[in-house]
Amino acid sequence: MRTSKRVKELNKSVDVSRDYTLSEAVTTLRDNSKVKFVESLDCAIRLGVDPRHADQMIRGTVSLPNGTGKDVKVLVIAKEPRSNEALDAGADYAGFEEYLEKLKGGWADVDVVIATPDSMSELGKLGKVLGPKGLMPNPKSGTVTNDVAKAVKEVKAGKIEFRVDKTGIINTSIGKLDFDTDKLVENAQAFINTIIKLRPSTVKGQYVKSLFLSSSMGPGLRISKDEIPVH
């Protein structure tokens, strides 16, 4: 496989063999971003868990203090007056039967789906449609709630959902490279601290195996263990 000119230049200018502080990694990725769009900053954490065990299936939400930098499209499945409350709070779409039909037809031009508990009996029938796309609402992530206005505002402000994959890795976007360095570091710290707090009591030995920051088109930079709280 041929290596592109851009990747060759990256390999020359970025040392991927060393450990970085969070701020060093952010600065290095920004300085070496040569694409014509603003890249996202991604954080990948490899955990010493076995996701096959229910008590080690790490999942949850975190409100990034400085947001994600993304325009998150939100759909709320709810009857009136909840649907109107959702629209007033900033939801892109809100309603009941009309959106259930659109979802059944394959429409899914949204990033997050929020639903009221009384709508889940119908929405739950679309598990095979929404599940693979990561759009099925879940009480644990706060996307099944009667307070739809609060949920919409939190998602729009930078609340993200995460879950460990079958290989023990959690990977999510935590901002855009045009954010100030300190804001991206704060987002990274909020995400990391949330993962640390979710450590299952059944996990023995090292919990956080490794931590990398990368940009959309850039290399992965290993973060020093000194940057990770006691775990």
Give the pLDDT mean for 217-229. 94
Taking the C-alpha atoms of residue 216 and residue 172, their distance in angstroms, rounded to an integer, is 11
Q: What's the mean pLDDT when you consider all of the chain?
A: 93
Give the pLDDT mean for 114-133. 94
Quick check: do 14-68+160-227 and 74-156 share a fold? no
Domain edges within the chain: 14-68+160-227, 74-156
Answer whether residue 134 shows pLDDT above 90. no
Residue 95's pLDDT band (cuts 50, 70, 90): very high
Taking the C-alpha atoms of residue 122 and residue 77, their distance in angstroms, rounded to an integer, is 10
What's the CATH number for 14-68+160-227? 3.30.190.20
More confident: 5 or 140: 140
Give the pLDDT mean for 98-123. 96
Answer whether residue 222 shows pLDDT above 70. yes
pLDDT at position 123:
95
pLDDT at position 140:
84
Superfamily designation of domain 74-156: Ribosomal protein L1/L10, domain II (3.40.50.790)
Beta strands 93-95; 74-77: pairing state: parallel
**Cα 33 to the center of its chain, rounded Å:** 22
Express each pLDDT in 68-92 by its tens digit: 998 999 999 999 999 999 999 999 9
Alpha-helix runs per DSSP H in the chain: 5-13, 22-31, 82-88, 97-104, 120-123, 127-130, 148-157, 181-197
Express each pLDDT in 17-70 by its tens digit: 999 999 999 999 999 998 999 999 999 999 999 999 999 999 899 999 999 998
Give the pLDDT mean for 154-181. 95
